[in-house]
Amino acid sequence: MSTLAALKNHQVRLAKRPVGSPTRDNWSFTTEDVAEPGEGGVLVKTLALSLDPAMRGWMNEGKSYIPPVGIDEVMRAGGVGKVIASKNDKFAVGDLVSAGLGVQEYMLIPSDQVKRSGMFKIDSRAGSMTQWMNVLGMPGMTGYFGLMDVGLPKPGETVVVSGAAGAVGQTVGQLAKIKGCRVVGIAGGRAKCDWVVNELGFDACIDYKAGNVKAGLKEHCPKGVDIYFDNVGGEILDDVLARIGRGARIIICGAISQYNNTTAVQGPKNYLSLLVNRARMEGIVVFDYADRYHLAVAEMAGYLKDGRMKSKEDIVGGGVNAFPEALTKLFTGENFGKLVLQVAEG
Amino acid sequence: MSTLAALKNHQVRLAKRPVGSPTRDNWSFTTEDVAEPGEGGVLVKTLALSLDPAMRGWMNEGKSYIPPVGIDEVMRAGGVGKVIASKNDKFAVGDLVSAGLGVQEYMLIPSDQVKRSGMFKIDSRAGSMTQWMNVLGMPGMTGYFGLMDVGLPKPGETVVVSGAAGAVGQTVGQLAKIKGCRVVGIAGGRAKCDWVVNELGFDACIDYKAGNVKAGLKEHCPKGVDIYFDNVGGEILDDVLARIGRGARIIICGAISQYNNTTAVQGPKNYLSLLVNRARMEGIVVFDYADRYHLAVAEMAGYLKDGRMKSKEDIVGGGVNAFPEALTKLFTGENFGKLVLQVAEG
């Protein structure tokens, strides 16, 4: 372990809270020495980080489902890394782990933080490193529990999912197909829509950038929408509300169209459709299901293995220094598949 | 029955659909002869009509949970009447009945419509004629099933109800108290608030006309809101969304603040609070629970009898000709208690 002293940890910290879209000015870049773990501690080298829409919310001041990232703190991020030093019985050098690593190259986890970090060994037989950040990771779990526990899908029902080519969306749509539903995606651009239909097997996909969401919903959901998994909010949520059927369930997972708003969030003006249709709109936070992740992972790994579920990751290089620009791809819709920042070679 | 021929039936019909607040111009007034019922039919004399916020929605074109009232049709209204002629075994002259009578003085129900009209005899031992339009009628059933089936109240939870002094609101609040909840009402004006607290036993009531809803919610719901029964929509819905607790249930019963809007409905800009709090917003339509009305009526009649539930009706005279002006009281908040239009003496 004497080589550790030569390592430098490059980090990205929140310098100031953004107004609207985050830019490079919102971040500061620091370098620290890498220290050896103490008794019970683990040192992890970051291999790749998961970039998620939720990050935008963590940058804001104020109460939410988890505390905001503090000013000058290393930006919160989940990721996959390799244990390079360990004084903890449960983790050995060379183990691949998933953990809240933060946007930095090394994460020293002291003994008393190991459990709290949620760190666990990943099983390469279940899926690749990037799949562990996608279908088998937080986005996959979000899609799984949102659809299954809140959406309560029944065979033959019509499921609509926005952000269909994104990490959560691809999971939701494919899982809904596996469960016997008719699935209509909403995504930006022909390429994403074609992929969702041709590769993932959705029944249809509406290109919102072509501006025909209402007409598309009417065409592809002739009997109304039974389940809507919402990742985007804004106009699209209103368009779907206008098409829901009786007893519909709307899962509120996110509202990426609204996160960089500098004015108030756009509330769904068609919310009274919930009344007319005796429908429900319900929020989901994935962490609530942590005690059942292993069950969902086992099920999803089975689908990956038998080919019924595919996954697509959009892997950006450049290491932690490229984080600010990589993150903005989520909000412009430039990413195609689960956005991953590669930090080091395995 | 030879006297029937001498009777005239004064009716109020929808002449044109309103834009914004309905006025007398939206109605036409017609007079028809009263005919004898044919085999299996019943003739009912309207005694009193229930005036409800939902009426405003029925006046609009377009798909809703029931078809709109057609142009030149007698305005839809529930009410209580007396059977004055019957060729139906189930109803005798003199019976007091509840039925969809419409805004008219007499309702001839042909044999094939008796069942469809939902007409039933009311039991004066359970409650007075006006209570049968209030706690034991549609508003009471709405409050009962909305609170119990969608709200799922647990003892000790905090329940907020808007339109607290109205027909639905008074039922919801008192029922929530009976079920062991802490209850905070929202109503317009000191008099209604005082009544809700002092007479109905709510724990607190916020006077929205005094403009302090946010502060009031903070003061009276220190642990957050577990159940919100929404009759009003608009700003108040947003204020409550900002105060809901984890796992909260919001029952969307109505949005009286929005019904006369000439612009788009104001969507709840704080709807992402559903996500943060893993909360749910769900619509209710009372008709779905028709097969269980008798159970709720029996329970509520018991509460009326033992004094745990009180009811207040705001009875307007003037007969069907006074209907247009009486209806507008709902939207200005002038009514104090369940609004009833008296049409004839019992």
- Asked if the Cβ–Cβ distance from A269 to B274 is below 8 Å, we say no
A65 chain-B contacts, CB cut-off 8 A: 275-278
Q: Which of B255, B279, B280 sits opposite A272 (nearest CB)?
A: B255
Cα(B240)–Cα(B221) distance, rounded to whole angstroms?
10
pLDDT of chain A along its 346 residues, tens only? Answer: 457 878 999 999 999 999 988 999 999 999 999 999 999 999 999 999 999 988 999 999 987 888 999 999 999 999 999 999 999 999 999 999 999 999 999 999 999 998 888 899 999 999 999 999 999 999 999 999 999 999 999 999 999 999 999 999 999 999 999 999 999 999 999 999 999 999 999 999 999 999 889 999 999 999 999 999 999 999 999 999 999 999 999 999 998 888 888 788 899 999 999 999 999 999 999 999 999 999 999 999 999 999 999 999 999 999 999 999 999 999 888 889 899 999 998 7
Amino acid identity, residue A27? W
Residue B63 has pLDDT above 80, yes or no: no
Q: Which of A63, A265, A282 sits opposite B280 (nearest CB)?
A: A282
ipTM over 0.85: yes
- Asked if the Cβ–Cβ distance from A267 to B270 is below 8 Å, we say yes
CATH code for the domain defined by A2-130+312-342: 3.90.180.10
How far A32 CA lies from chain B's nearest CA (Å)?
34
- Asked if the Cβ–Cβ distance from B281 to A267 is below 8 Å, we say no
| B118, HSE (Cβ side, Cα atoms, 13 Å) | 17
- Asked if the Cβ–Cβ distance from A275 to B269 is below 8 Å, we say no
- Asked if the Cβ–Cβ distance from A285 to B268 is below 8 Å, we say no
Structural domain boundaries in chain B: 2-124+312-342, 138-287
Q: Which of A252, A279, A283 sits opposite B283 (nearest CB)?
A: A279
- Asked if the Cβ–Cβ distance from B276 to A252 is below 8 Å, we say no
- Asked if the Cβ–Cβ distance from A276 to B65 is below 8 Å, we say yes
- Which residues neighbour B220 within 8 Å (Cβ) at sequence distance 6 or greater? B184, B203, B204, B206
B230 class by beta-carbon count within 10 Å (0-12 exposed, 13-18 middle, 19+ buried):
buried
Cα(B75)–Cα(B100) distance, rounded to whole angstroms?
10
Task: Kindly state which CATH superfamily the domain A138-287 is placed in.
Answer: NAD(P)-binding Rossmann-like Domain (3.40.50.720)
Share of chain B above pLDDT 70, in %: 99
Contact A55, A75 (CB under 8 A): yes
What are B253's two structure tokens? Answer: 């019963």
| Each residue's pLDDT tens digit, B167-192 | 999 999 999 999 999 999 999 999 99
Q: Which of B63, B280, B288 sits opposite A281 (nearest CB)?
A: B280
| Each residue's pLDDT tens digit, B106-134 | 999 999 998 888 899 999 999 999 999 99
Domains A2-130+312-342 and A138-287 share a fold: no
- Asked if the Cβ–Cβ distance from B281 to A278 is below 8 Å, we say no
What are B175's two structure tokens? Answer: 């029922």
Task: Kindly state which CATH superfamily the domain B2-124+312-342 is placed in.
Answer: Medium-chain alcohol dehydrogenases, catalytic domain (3.90.180.10)
Residue B301 has pLDDT above 70, yes or no: yes
B258 chain-A contacts, CB cut-off 8 A: 272
Indicate the pTM of the whole model. Answer: 0.91
How far B265 CA lies from chain A's nearest CA (Å)?
5
Residue B65 has pLDDT above 90, yes or no: no
B238 chain-A contacts, CB cut-off 8 A: 267
Q: Quick one: closest CA in A to B252, which residue?
A: A275
- pLDDT at res. B1: 47
Residues of chain B in Cβ contact (below 8 Å) with chain A: 63-65, 233, 238, 252-255, 258, 264-285, 288
How far A161 CA lies from chain B's nearest CA (Å)?
17
3-state SS, residue A69: coil
DSSP of A10-47, one letter per residue? EEEEE-S--SSS--GGGEEEEEEE-----TT-EEEEEE
**Scanning the structure block, which residue is given the tokens 């993932």?**
A200
Residue B2 has pLDDT above 60, yes or no: no
Cα(A66)–Cα(A170) distance, rounded to whole angstroms?
25
Cα(B79)–Cα(B74) distance, rounded to whole angstroms?
14
Section B88-95 average pLDDT: 96
Share of chain A above pLDDT 90, in %: 86
Contact B51, B330 (CB under 8 A): yes
- pLDDT at res. A2: 55
How far A166 CA lies from chain B's nearest CA (Å)?
19
Strand (E) or helix (H) holding A138: helix A138-145
**Scanning the structure block, which residue is given the tokens 């060994």?**
A121
| Each residue's pLDDT tens digit, A172-181 | 999 999 999 9
Cα(A21)–Cα(B334) distance, rounded to whole angstroms?
47
Residue B210 has pLDDT above 80, yes or no: yes
Task: Find residue A45's DSSP bridge partners.
Answer: A82, A106
**Scanning the structure block, which residue is given the tokens 């291999």?**
A47
For testing contact with chain A, the best of B218, B281, B287, B288 (most A CBs within 10 A): B281
A252 chain-B contacts, CB cut-off 8 A: 271-272, 274-275
3-state SS, residue A189: coil
A233 chain-B contacts, CB cut-off 8 A: 272
